[in-house]
Structure formats: C-alpha cells, structure tokens
Amino acid sequence: MTHRNLVILTGAGISAESGVPTFRADDGLWLGHRIEDVATPEAFARDPARVQAFYNDRRRQLPTVHPNAAHQALAELAARWHGKILLVTQNVDDLHDRAHAATPPGPGFDLIHMHGDLLKAVCTATGRVCDWPGDLATDEASPHHPAGRLRPHIVWFGEMPLQMDRIEAALAHCDLFISIGTSGAVWPAAGFVETAARAGARTVELNLEPSLGRSRFDEGRYGPATEVVPGFFSDLI
Ligand code: OAD
C-alpha cells in the first residue's frame, strides 16, 4: 500500500534516549512535582517562582542533549518524502527542530509543537510569543507591553493545545497516522488516532511497550525508538 499524506504524533518517548526524562516513567519528570504545582495557570498565579524554576531547569538541560537516531530517521524521511508530512509533537524540547535544521525537509513538511516550546516565552498582556533561550525571572518584564510579564510558552493543564484546527484538518486528510513514544494518557492528542481512522488512514503505534491506546491502532511495533523508528521508516521508503 502506498501512502502520501502522513501525520506523525510524537511524545516524550522519542526523546528518552537523548536523556530527556519522560513524564510518566517511575523516574520521570513529574516525580517529585505535582502537576497542579507546576503545570497549571493556577500554579503560576499562586507561585510563579516555583513554576519559572521548574521550566528554567528544563530549558537549561537542552544544550546538554542531542537528537537521537529516531529524530534523525524522521528528518531523513521528511527530506525524501514526496507527499505531505505534518509532524505534531507534544514535546517542548527542540530536538525535532535541530534534526530538521541539519537535514532540511521537503516542501510538504511542517512541524507543530502542540504543547508549546521551552525556548519561547509568552507576554501575559498581549499573548505575543518571543524566542527565549535563557532563564525567565519570576517577574520577567515583557518587551511587548508595559503591563505584561513573560511566562513559559507551555500549554498547561486546562489550556487549549496549539494549532488544533490545522492538526484536525491534516488528520481528516491523512492516509497514514503514526504515533511515536507517547503513553496515550493526555487528550486531545490521545484521540488523534480515532480521527485519522475515521478518515480511512492506516494507524500505527511505535512505542517502547503497548500504550494505553494500543487497541485503537491497526498495528504496533515495540522497542526503543532509536531502533523501531528507523526500521519502520526504512520499510516505508
Ligand atoms: P509519557 O511520559 O506519558 O509517555 C511516554 C511514552 O514513551 C510511554 O508510553 C513509554 O512507554 C514510551 N517510551 C519511553 N521510553 C521510550 C523509548 N526509548 N522509545 C520509545 N518509547 C519510549 O509522555 P507523553 O505521552 O509525551 O504535556 O505525555 C504527554 C503529555 O503529558 C506531555 O506532552 C506533557 C505531559 O503532561 C504537557 O506538559 C502539556
């Protein structure tokens, strides 16, 4: 079967072998942090110092990690693919961005960070997004508005993921949906497979182990992303 329009959803599992902790593993990122203390708008209103410190730590880690063979295989696929690929990542690291910068994609490729981007900040007064590679101070003044402060450009629990219209449109027209390294615990991303299936797409899960959503996929391949992702893409090409 030949495919043209792909939607690829990635989660923390694709970055695990680069040294970025996943969220729900026993030693994962939420360990020692309650979601409601660091990843909600209410937490930021209550204790901005704690929330900024949590994301400053994550941001400081980025220069120490590098794209792995799974990010690289995806970048090579995007460079060679003749149809469309929408890569939707739940990850806020920049490992996909760096892999695609090193191996430029074809014209049919696009990348959406649906849960935000650690290397960006948002003005609380205007909603404007700007690049922010360093730490954010507790009360970081916004360059965009005198009354504004800067917060991490992260979609917190209770907030709407980014660019959902574009994602839904791509899902409705894809013929292959691939989910890589995500537990299927967080919505709306966990429901993308069903939207793609309704559009008639073949649906494939690539993960360390069967995820919570396994039964929603036509197929699954299991093992470390650095092995299963290059293997699956080389079969696809
Ligand atoms: P999770 O931590 O929930 O799930 C990571 C998945 O990756 C699990 O199913 C693991 O089995 C799998 N995995 C771990 N190591 C792997 C490896 N080396 N190769 C392949 N798979 C591996 O992370 P996400 O599903 O990404 O949201 O979490 C989704 C969202 O929950 C995150 O974007 C974050 C969090 O709350 C926000 O912060 C808004």
Per DSSP, which regions of 157-217 are E strands?
176-180, 202-207
Question: Ligand 1 centroid vs 181 CA: distance in angstroms?
Answer: 6
- Could you read off the pLDDT of 36-56 as tens digits, one per residue? 899 999 999 999 999 999 999
Whether the CA torsion 169, 121, 39, 208 is positive or negative: it is positive
The preferred substitution site among 15, 20, 22, 232 for testing ligand 1, maximizing ligand atoms within 8 Å of CB, is 22
Of all protein residues, the one whose alpha carbon is nearest to atom 33 of ligand 1 is 90
Q: Is the pTM of this model over 0.85?
A: yes
* In contact, 202 and 218? CB cutoff 8 Å: yes
Query: What mean pLDDT is predicted for residues 167-191?
Result: 96
List residues with catalytic annotation: 115
- Could you read off the pLDDT of 79-119 as tens digits, one per residue? 999 999 999 999 999 999 999 999 999 999 999 999 999 99
In the chain, DSSP finds a helix count (H) and a strand count (E) of: 9, 9
Q: What is the DSSP letter of 141?
A: B
pLDDT tier at 21, thresholds 50, 70, 90: confident
Question: Ligand 1 centroid vs 79 CA: distance in angstroms?
Answer: 26
